[in-house]
Structure 1
Amino acid sequence: MPGWEMKIIEAEAERLLSLAAGDADLRAELRALAQVILAATEEPPPSVVPAEGSHPDPAPALPDADEAQAVPSGGPRGPEPLHELTLGRSRPVSVERHPPSEENGGSAFDATLDFDEIEARCRLKAEAARHAAARLRRLRGGGDPGGGVAPVNPEVASWADRFTDAFSWRDDDDGTQPPDISLLDDLGGCFEALAGASALAAGDGERRGALGRSLHLLAEAQSAVRSATQHLQAPDDPDQLAAYEWARDAATRHRVFIKRYLRADDLADPARWPDLLARIEAQAGGDPRARRHRPRVKRLRRHLEAIRRGDDADRDWQEVVEAVDEMVAEGLPPSSKDLRDLLLPAIDDLPDRDDPPEGFRLVLREIDRYLASRADPTEAPVTPEPTPEVQEARRLLGGRSIVLLGGMCRPEARAALREALGLADLVWVETKEHQAVSTFEPVIARPEVALVLLAIRWSSHAFGEVRRYCDLHGTPLVRLPGGYNPNQVAAQIIDQCGERLRGG
């Protein structure tokens, strides 16, 4: 068996054993599987020696009669070949190994890999790496390592534990300095890049020219993951190995020369994952999955143009929300670049909505993630003309601090709100799905905090639970169902707690 296949089996076995610790059904299945493996790999019992006087059936004639040995026909057979075990494994690469024929010119997408599964797992691993990094930073800062948010997904929790263990046990040449936690940040970024490159390869499989470019990006992304895991001294990742095998075989089949990143001595720099991710997103423009939704894309564009003209915005936004939700329900990834580029110019003007549908909420989350991770723009954003509500909120809150709960911190939005409201500070507390509300209490209880904003469109937290802690510490709470546009935020502040801030 090739070494890379055994590495995949070993990595998946470790993952399954970790998951089985909290899953009785999985433990039972693994025990049954182990018994099948043991039975199939046992040595065959010795041949039965016929009793004296018995007459076994004669052995069939062999070409060399002098050297042939008779074998009783009724003797035990050897074990049947063990079928390939796939429990817990990624779907194997299915490659038809033949040179490109003149009929197809090597253009058909004749090697399949479940890229959707690889993309999903890599995004979960990216989340796990970020969770592990946050946990270690809390520990180094003197906080409780378990005081953060435990991942809801058991696979994320398992991977986070494995990444933390690998980081904690790695051998450093120089033991005078603690290991750099940014190794985990890089690992998470590399998994994000591999997820994006996998989605790109799946979409470009039928496009002759695009496939070549996608293969180069996939090769670099899997190499970056391999390098990041080696820096962490963690086991090889099965999804990285599967992507490597597929990229190598697809390049051979389609006669694409990939100069770099397919050799063990030529690994990509994991610290450069932001640049790699940007190139993947640039290549992803014109996602084939988005092209299947062209009628709805036209509908979206029409309503967004009407919103910019200042027509009946509420009705147009309702159409936008419904169209986006339908597209996601039919398979368009919430992270689609085409969808994001359409919504970005207007997203902060989204009217207040307490209950966005699930598909639209996922798109908002991905846009929030993108805006939080991108580099600072070279041009300063255009500041909207301050409304009377902005001027009044600035008078009431100027020089004070507020807390914003929700989503991922967006530096541009944070700076715009601080400037518009004249704040001493805006403490942005990033939230995760189903995070315990009690984790917010320490920041709510700070004496310098004059107000708490709850960005509910990215939050799964019950309004009443957050309200309870705000009431306990005498801090006004403002529900923020729209975007971060300073005019919108100020309007909500004045409407919901203006009188209280004025002392009325």
Structure 2
Amino acid sequence: MLTEEHQPDLTGAIQAVIAALQRQARNDGELRHHLRVLGAALLSIAGDSDDADTNALVEIIVNGERSGSSELQTEDVADGRATADANVPVLPPATDDDLKLLAAHFAGQLDVTDQPVSALPSTPSDQGGAIQLAELSDCFQAKVMHIRQSLGSLGKNPLGSSPCTQWIDAKLKQSAQSQQDDWEVLAGSCEVAALVADALSEMVNNAALKKHLPEGLLLAAEAQSAVAAAVQRLHKKPDPAQERFFRWLRQRTEAEQVYLPRYMRRGDTADPNQWQERLVRVQAWRETLEREIYRRRHERKLFGKLRYQLSQVDSGAADQWPRALQTISALIDLGVPPSHRMLRQLLWPFRDQLNVASAEARQLAWVARELARAATSPVDAEPLSPGDRDEKLVEQVADLLRNTSVVLIGGDERPLVRQTIEEAFDLRELIWCDTRPHRSHLVVEPFIARAEVSVVLLAIRWASHGLGAVREFCERYNKPLVRLPAGYSINQIAHHIWEQASERLSVLPKSS
């Protein structure tokens, strides 16, 4: 127990901690919330909320909150204790060691590098889950590179520290060699979490991929649990990025009403040593998503082609009818059901001609049979949906890029994603340049300089800091530079190209 002669030093230490919290709380809404709950709980423990000195202390704590946040609700505190946030993992009671660390912190005796650092800025809820997931993916990937580069260079990390890796940097200096296996397991577990978060960021708001979301949430639960277990071996304290992934997962499963039977409780943790097997499963799931995205885009493109061909037939171009029949067969082979509403709408005026042609191929016979079952013309015409409007924009951008090459800088090349982008915009070639930390940004200049390159896409969430020179290269060779904030969604790429470069692209000479 502290004696009276030690009280002045302790008071000064507490004041220093409060001042530091006050500075951080100005830009961190989550921290402000926890400080409000802590302040109310301390007042309840003291049992005298009218004490002037106590009120002054709490006034310092909540000072940064008055401008934009609501007051603490009474239900946040019960029986003198802060209630558990439904979206925050339940932590075990504080141990004697925890209390000793807190006392040492107040006394100014604790090394600040031993404290967990907030890995990510607080993200407002109205920005959507996709942005939060993209940030999480970046943070986990930064941990992977930091650990592996450090282990590969005997503890001397050439990348430098960042908010996501600050506690890792401090611990690596102490145990890079003595716990190398544990560090490799943590890196592998973070790699899995980065891939899951990245894939979820591209599909979480895509209604067409909703059926794949439950499996993705299960993989996310397992991935974040494995990270938590791997961190516990090395740090004995939670990792901020893993905790944020957990909170996002709780919120999303509640919103989607998805039940996760595993890996969401302290007593049920994933084995981090199994990260390689987990990585294989995550990669297979992501490839399934990419195939589905490609299939749906190819389907929409074929429907657009069929619509054009039938309009030409209706205008008297008889040579388009055999081509339309080939497109119908391609749609069925792709997995479109013969009873598809759009097929029935497009082919109803041509049902007699289709009956004659149905003997040519079984796919045509299936569609003709479904049309015969309809007693009257389909009246369930579809209005122009947001997806249709997006498709119109993709077509407009394709008109600007057709038969040109595009340079994409950032991330690891994914063949199916490359093919999807090339086909969506009718490109001659998509030149995908990765951004590995050890590679010089000068390697991208020859690609940007090519005459057939119409635009340069910079995936800023994957690009390394050295690629700031890309702007200079683009200016040197008169190529528009388009920044992609997250993911490789065709609709998002089309939107950013249209917003950032459509005026310049519209006046550039077309490649023959």
Task: Please indicate, yes or no, whether the TM-score normalized by the shorter chain is above 0.5.
Answer: no
Q: TM (normalized to structure 1)? A: 0.39
Q: TM (normalized to structure 2)? A: 0.39
Q: Which has the higher contact order (CA 8 A, sep 6+)?
A: 1
